[in-house]
Amino acid sequence: MVHWLAACPSNEMLLPKPIQNLIDSLSRLPGIGPKTASRLTFFLLRAPEILSFDLADALQTLKSGTRFCRTCFNITDADRDECEICTGAERDAALLCVVEDPLDVLALERTGGYRGRYHVLHGTLSPIEGIGPEDLKIAELLRRVRAEEIREIILATNPSLEGDATAMYLRQQLEPFGIPVTRLARGLPVGGDLEYADQNTLLRALAGRQEMD
């Protein structure tokens, strides 16, 4: 038997608008095709109301309840200027770890092996996608390095083509400051993502970081 959704050339004729709306919205998320979007929508339709209300509430406060830390550009609560890491008295302010996105901060924090601060670039250089230095928080990084007393800068961009190219570019930009610039040790899967690396691998990469030449 052919599934009735698959059998219809256009669901729009048959589905009430609220259902089609949610399917369309979910379909726009990464990794979710129309099939998964339909499955999730019908799951919510059958599930207790509270599940939908909680989800709607979480979505609504996602943007309004968060903001970027004005110093490191990590995500923080909307009611504070700086994140907990930047304001944490126990953090080593002279050690700066540069990462691609907030999920990488989370991954490094989970290891429990890093006590310095971070700087979140919000992406990597990618000529193909038209992403240049001005699209990332690079000027902000250089401003910080100029203003703060930093002993070491760890470039912890992903071990991918773009991550490596971004690290090379940053090393050049940071050279005039005369501060040691290190890169996470190899051992992380090439082309992989920091956020998916297991804690031990990440800890080893952090401990084995080497000065870039």
**Residue 84 corresponds to which tokens in the numbers above?**
């907990």
Q: Where does residue 192 rank: exposed (0-12), middle (13-18), buried (19+ CB within 10 A)?
A: middle
How far is it, in rounded angstroms, from Cα 80 to Cα 44? Answer: 34
Give the alpha-carbon dihedral of 122, 125, 130, 135, to 10 degrees: 40
Residue 101 CB partners (closer than 8 Å, separation 6+): 120, 121, 122, 123, 195
| CB atoms closer than 10 angstroms to residue 150 | 19
Q: Which is nearer to Zn ion, 69 or 107 (CB)?
A: 69
83 or 155, CB closer to Zn ion?
83
Closest approach of Zn ion to the CB of residue 212, in Å = 24
Q: How many residues bind Zn ion (CB under 5 A)?
A: 6
Residue 202 neighbours by CB under 8 Å, 6+ apart: 107, 108, 111, 113, 188, 194
Q: Which is nearer to Zn ion, 118 or 169 (CB)?
A: 118
CB of 55 to Zn ion, least distance (A): 28
Which of 23, 72, 125, 138 touches Zn ion (CB under 5 A)? 72
Shortest distance (Å) from residue 11 CB to Zn ion: 44
How many whole angstroms separate alpha carbon 102 and alpha carbon 22?
A: 27
Beta-ladder partners of 205: none
Q: DSSP assignment, residue 135?
A: G
Stretch that binds Zn ion, among 28-36, 65-73, 154-162, 174-182 (CB under 5 A): 65-73
Binder of Zn ion out of 71, 111, 160, 166 (CB under 5 A): 71
Taking CB under 5 A as the rule, which mask of x and - marks residues 76-95 in contact with Zn ion?
A: -------x--x---------
Binding segment for Zn ion (CB under 5 A), chosen from 67-75, 103-111, 125-133, 149-157, is 67-75
Residue 125 found at the interface with Zn ion (CB under 5 A): no
Both tokens assigned to 41: 């929508």
Does residue 184 belong to the site contacting Zn ion (CB under 5 A)?
A: no
Residue 69 lies near Zn ion (rule: CB under 5 A): yes
Q: Where do contacts with Zn ion occur on this chain (CB under 5 A)? A: 69, 71-72, 74, 83, 86
